[in-house]
Structure 1
Amino acid sequence: MTSSISEVTVPGAGDAGPGAPRGRRSRHGSTSLRVGAASIWLSVIVLLPLAAIVWQSVGGGPEAFWTAVTSNAAIASFKVTLTISFAVAVINLFFGLLVAWVLVRDDFPGKRLVDAIIDLPFALPTIVASLVMLALYGPASPIDVQLNFTKWGVGIALLFVTLPFVVRSVQPVLQELDRETEEAAASLGANNWVIFTKVILPALLPALLSGAGLAFSRAIGEYGSVVLIGGAVPGETEVSSQWIRTLIENDDRTGAAAISIVLLTVSFVVLFVLRTIGSRAAKRQELAT
């Protein structure tokens, strides 16, 4: 009986006996294998295509790159894209939080259906979204609201495809919030606004910024959902992705790659800055609690 107990307990000691180093080597080896596999996959799927488009964008030299990104048509498309995308991100920041709050904190008939509908823009092909927008806000609008070939139409189409990013970023964080802290604040005399701004919002800020950043990045690169409702009117509704398509059709692949690099850079910088701010806010929240 004694020998059987010792045989069971000694290997479980973890940091003692000859079995421990082998266990650590095994764990380290499996970790290295996973990291290597993930790095290879990331390189093949993300880094190599990015390197290829960077190489193509500078194929004509710095002057060709600069000419492509500073042409009147390119500047006009950048203005349209960034202005509408920023407005879309801000609007979805507010309404995405509102929808997530309703889905988490409120009970109402059809709640599961609404929760499923939120993911519909992810499932729909973006060209279908453009068809839906055109059917609702086009020349034959059943509600007599015509927004085709307008910035409002482009904005609504982008709101449709980017709303889930904020909702799905905020929803799980809101579900995990400690309700006891809110109840404690209420017991000390804090009203609903104070509880929201001082207790809830700081905890949600990283998720809100992350969702808004994803929505903005999706909006500046969107093509399918705006191609029909927008109409690609130069200087009015022609977004950068549509200008890229025009350049490709004119066999200017270097210029198209240059415009793409600008959009990628803007998207990366915005995501990096927002996630850095969100990470710092999360650390302050942890220190405060």
Structure 2
Amino acid sequence: MQTTPQAASQPAIRSALPLAFMAGAAVGVLGGMIGLGGAEFRLPLLIMLFGFAALQAVILNKALSLVVVLTALPARLAAVPLSALTPHWGVVVNLLVGSLAGAWAGASWATRMRSSTLYRVLAVLLVLIAAALIANHVGTLHYVDMPTAATVIAGVIAGFFIGVVAAIMGVAGGELLIPTIVLLFGTDIKIAGSLSLAVSLPTMLVAFARYSRDGSFTVLRRYARVGIVLALGSVAGTILGGLLLGVVPEAILVPGLALLLVLSSVKVWRHANV
């Protein structure tokens, strides 16, 4: 188990507040332009730019993702009122049965992995997210009509897998949750986006609770100022990215972001050998 947190490799990290704000804002803009929080882009930066060890980066990324999701909730409720979501509570419960267990399991596995192994797992998951990003924005999602029992089982299994991935990467998991909700439950894409937040929030809290039992959790206290500035930058960037939604054609933006994730995965993989 990784119980003793390593210091971030850059000694000046505490004074890197302007860089933290700019990095957070850049990540927020990228995520906002495709309707996501951007945590998948922030994770490689925490490792490569700020020098955090793998587990430290995951925990900090999870904390920042929580802030972004909580900030996004009022905006989502303004766009899609609670009354429109209430008829779909069964979808949320179905996915939560799997995702809560997956979040606890994923966080437990992450704390027990050797640092080199965790770097490699993160690299592979970044490629997975890149593939999901391409699939979500290039392909057309079609409802898969199955018997109710099969849908429920598929929802639990999918929820578990998403909970594991979200916990290990420190992300909200919207890039996986939204297509899952559309494919399995035939929900409108706009409703699915709000439902994904309803699943993400408790799932993230469970993973966060599990990480709080590990020694590396002290990264939040040791680098609180950097974390706060990153969060402020991420929120500001996400709002700006939302305003820029549609400015860059998806045919250019999505492949470019997917390529960025793949390149980041290569660099993260190389950290396993450092």
Same fold by TM-score greater than 0.5: no
With the shorter chain as reference, the TM-score category is: 0.3 to 0.5
Which of the pair has the greater relative contact order for Cα pairs under 8 Å at 6+ separation?
2
TM-score by length of 1: 0.35
TM-score by length of 2: 0.36
